Structure 1
Amino acid sequence: MYSSLQAFELTETSRDWLIHRPMQIAIYVLLAFVLRFILHRFIDRMTRKRAPSDTPALLKPLRDRAPRGVKEGIVNERRAQRATTIGSVLKSTVSIVMLVWAILQILEILGVNVTPFIASAGVVGVALGFGAQNLVRDFLSGIFMLLEDQYGVGDVVDLGEATGTVESVGLRVTTIRDINGTLWYCRNGEILRVGNMSQGHAVAVVDLPISHSANVHRACEVALAAVLEAAEDAAIADDILDPPELLGVNSVTAASVTLRITARVKPGRQWAVQRALTRAALTAFENEGIEAPFLSMLPSTRPDI
């Protein structure tokens, strides 16, 4: 009788290890893969655009600071890259969570106490955090930059050491192309401040130096008339949001008197407008005989009497 009961217990134990537990493990593994697949498909759907001009559904609740007045293709590229990067982070997070959950469930089925593993994982996580704190800081900074849309592809930004046009925004590195064509790789964790010159509007500032002997009032009238006429030129008319405004004398030094004119323009177009207005004002000064600051300091060429 005892031997038959012992055989029955061994049979039940074998059945538990050979059938029941493997089936439970297979169910958890299958469930983890199914959940991962469903969540990845959902994230892809939220980050995919139905039409080229549409905004991905994932970005609709977030603030979009894309500059106005830029080409639609650049704006779409900026949104697509932003959505793709955020989606990649979400999918990686889902995969890690599903993997950890499946492993813990399998260990529990096998009768392994998972509490020491969780405690060890916490210690290892702290150690890795201290060892790779710069990498973690870069990733966290990149995530917040993407969520807040501080800058994007096509923006002209000043990141301190590098100033230029943003070519790509990643979780760890942002690439900037400066005016000389140099490509700068800026770690997101090292970016302490961002000056974005492509959001909202910009201001074209035109400083016009004249000599002390020139008639200031006449120079102001000539400069304002010249820049107002130049603002109607088809090349820059669409870029100017408000007519140029004469602020008057901005500074007086031992060498010159400087007049300042400003105009509110579309983001990223301030330099083109500034060059056009400066050229028009200097041409008008030359036609009206208003002296440049150093011209009056040159020695006279008249013969002595």
Structure 2
Amino acid sequence: MEVHILAYEWTDTNKHWLIEVPIRIAAYIVIALVARYILHRMIDRAANRSRRTRGTPDQDSVNKPPLLRHLRDKAPLSVAGMKAAERRRQRAQTIGSVLKSTVSIVMLIWVLLSVLNVVGVNIAPFIASAGIVGLAIGFGAQNLVRDFVTGVFMLLEDQYGVGDNVDLGEAVGEVESVGLRVTTVRDIDGTLWYVRNGEITRVGNMSQDYAVARVELPVALTADITQAETVAVEAAEETLEDPELAAKVLGKPEMLGVQDVSRDLLTLRMTIKTRPNAQWSVQRRLRRDILRAFDENGIELPIRPPRVYAVPDE
């Protein structure tokens, strides 16, 4: 009788380990792979598919991917044009890549814990150990974690993008690439700066929404200020009749008046609202034409007295 009972128990154990356990493990793996595939497809569609709407040509060409539809966006369609479309595409792809990696990691951890539970291993110590290991890794790689978290929030808030002119403190120039850990900026001298996202404490973006061209005009102390202001405004308005320059401007020139007075000269300030990244070219063109108009209308420009150097006695 005892021999028959042992044979029955041995057969039942074989059924459990050779049939039930492999089937359950295979089922968990298949479920994880299918869920991962479906979620990755959903993320790809949300990151890459654009919704076509009826409107102006600019609106049709720069529609936002569904992944970014409810996120904050600082690049208006009327200002950014096709650059906004490229910026949104890169932003959506980067966020999509992060979401896909997160899904893969979660699915892998779930499968491992499920397999251990199926084979009869107590997973409670593993969960506790994972928490301790994660805490240790967080302390050891806190700079890396800070860079990553800052990069994620920077993308979600759309603080800057590729092609923007930014001031990140030590690095000032045009953004060439935006990553989750590092942002690269090319300055006016051609130097490429690699800036860790976690070290960026402030961002000055000169390419969002609009810019302001600020024109400083030096005038002699003896000049007629009222005439100088009138000539400057008329010269600026005449310059803006150029279609190429007018396309960069969003408003009319505004004369603010005397900005500074020194011993040798006084400075007039004029401002005009422009499209992003167009303020510098507008400034240079207005300075040239206004100074030429000053010369034609007899507006005196400051002339610094020559320096006198003492000659030592021989």
Distance in 1 (alpha carbons) for counterparts of 2:276 and 2:77: 7
CA RMSD of aligned residues (A): 1.7
Query: Partner letter of residue 185 of structure 2?
Result: I
SS of 1:175's equivalent? strand
Written as runs of structure 1 = structure 2, the 5 A alignment for 1:106-255 is 106-255=115-264
Q: CA deviation at 1:180?
A: 2.0
Contact 1:69 1:266 in 2 (8 A): no
Contact 1:139 1:171 in 2 (8 A): yes
SS of 1:243's equivalent? coil
- Unaligned 5+ runs, structure 2: 53-60, 308-314
Which region of structure 1 is more displaced relative to structure 2, 64-73 or 16-25? 64-73
SS of 2:122's equivalent? coil
TM-score of the aligned structures, taking structure 1 as reference length: 0.93
- Unaligned 5+ runs, structure 1: 300-305
Q: CA deviation at 1:149?
A: 0.7
- Runs of 4+ residues deviating >6 angstroms: none
Which region of structure 1 is more displaced relative to structure 2, 271-280 or 88-97? 271-280
Distance in 2 (alpha carbons) for counterparts of 1:110 and 1:145: 44
Contact 1:66 1:152 in 2 (8 A): no
Contact 2:79 2:209 in 1 (8 A): no
% same residue:
57
Q: CA deviation at 1:298?
A: 5.0
1:74 paired residue number: 83
Q: Does 1:101 align with 2:104?
A: no
Distance in 1 (alpha carbons) for counterparts of 2:43 and 2:49: 12
2:13 paired residue number: 13
Q: CA deviation at 1:69?
A: 5.5
The count of residues paired between Structure 1 and Structure 2 equals 298
Q: CA deviation at 1:9?
A: 0.4
Equivalent of residue 303 in structure 2, options 290, 294, 301: 294
Equivalent of residue 98 in structure 2, options 66, 89, 103: 89
2:311 paired residue number: none
Residues 92-149 of structure 1 deviation map (CA, whole Å, 9 limit, x = unaligned): 0000000000101100111111111111111110110011000000000000011111
Q: CA deviation at 1:37?
A: 0.7
Query: Partner letter of residue 66 of structure 2?
Result: A
